[in-house]
Amino acid sequence: MLSSRSSAVVALAAAALLGAAAPAAAAPTAAGGYAALGDSYSSGTGAGSYGDSGGCKRSANSYAQRWADSHGPASFSFVACSGAVTADVLANQVSALTADTSLVTISIGGNDAGFADVMIDCNLGSDATCVAGNQGAQSFARTTLPGRLDGVYSQIAARAPAAQVVVFGYPHIYQLNGSCGIGLSETKRAAINQSSDVLAEVISAKAAAYGFTFVDGRTAFAGHEICASGDRWLNSVTVPVDESYHPTATGQGSGYYPALTAVTG
């Protein structure tokens, strides 16, 4: 049985990952409906102000809510949910899409690849354990995740055939050789960032195959990761622990949101 300290670390790690047209394009996009799908990075977990969304932690500070507030779409279906995997999107989220949906955003795949378990390994285990866990998850991302993304992306294309679809990638969690004096080793931080690289590689390739636009989270958050010397747009360890390793309200507003408006106007 885990100690209270170990239990907190496990909960923290499990929540970590479960939890970028011209301006003229903005008018037709806003004329239709907007559906925000995906996991915690799209729901806005870590950014506060969750209203009555319960465990899904849909934030008023999320890039999705900010876009809806500023663009006034005909309808807004905010169904992204903390902890979601591809199966959850298929079971609980794609039903929000219709022929009138003109914009779809989504981040998904990190939980499928098991990066929550990887964070447990990295928090509780040695450097070697952390590296091995990341390598295993990266292998899954390369071999199994593409098929799961096919299942989600094909449903989006079928249900909202006229929509502009924007797929969000995950940021690097850490700035390497940064200013953190404590915490995970540099070896562990590098292994975790490598997993973000593999996810970006896999997700961007599959998004391109469907003609969707990929927004690279690594670019959107560059210079603002944990251990960055300037403003950090990602939570480190927080209370509640499920918001750890997620974008802050500033990260959603200054990282993801302008990357989205760069695409839609």
Buried b / exposed e across 198-236, counting CB within 10 Å, b at 16+? Answer: bbbebbbebbeeeebbbbbbbebbeebbbbbeeebbbbe
Q: What are the structure tokens assigned to 110, written together?
A: 């990190």
The side-by-side arrangement of strands in the sheet containing 33-38 is 75-78, 33-38, 101-107, 164-168, 213-215
Which of helix, strand or coil describes residue 36?
A: strand
82 touches 56 (CB < 8 A): yes
Active site residues: 40, 246
